[in-house]
Every structure is written in C-alpha cells, then in structure tokens.
Amino acid sequence: DMLIGTESARLATYKAAWLAEQGEKNTYMASIAKCMAADNANRCASDAVQIFGGNGYNSEYPVEKLMRDAKIFQIYEGTNQIQRLIITREKLEKLKTEGMD
C-alpha cells in the first residue's frame, strides 16, 4: 500500500509538471498531487510507527522523526483541506465550461 500511494502521487506530480511544461493550467493536477503525496507520506509514516510498535515513538528510531516530518507536508503551502477546496473549485469550473466528462 505504501508503494501504491507513492507511485500514484509520483504520477500525479509528473502529470502536473507535464501540463506546466505544455503551458497549460496545472492548478487542478498540482493540488491533487500535493494532497495525495502529503496524505500518503502521513499514512506511510503512521504505518512505519505501527510496524516498530512502541519503539516507533522512541527518538532513537528514525520513524519517530519521519512521523513529525510527514505531518508538515499536510500543512505547508496550503493545508490539504485547502487543496481539496481548490480541486473542487477547478473541477466545478471545468464542468461549467466543458460539461460532464
């Protein structure tokens, strides 16, 4: 599951970058990529802490730091809740102009 989420976020990031390179608006895909990657980082860190059990919260193990570091990705450069609002807004705008797809 960790790899599935990571590869999915990576592909969304690549698509957002490709759209930017093409000179197209990439707000929708960039928000999806950011939100997906941040959520997955938190899931992976949480799973790693679970795997280590009680030692997962011990500062002697790197997973404790990974858990703290992963949380910042959901907050930095727009919280994931804001990213979800951006995704919804962009999709609604597209539906208004292009219709259902």
Active site positions, annotated: 77
Instruction: Give, as one character, the DSSP assignment of residue 60.
Output: T
Q: Please give the Cα distance from 12 to 10 (Å, whole number).
A: 5
* Contact partners, residue 58, CB within 8 Å, separation at least 6: 64
Do residues 12 and 36 touch, judged by C-beta distance below 8 A? yes
**Torsion angle of C-alpha atoms 50, 51, 54, 56, degrees rounded to 10:** -80
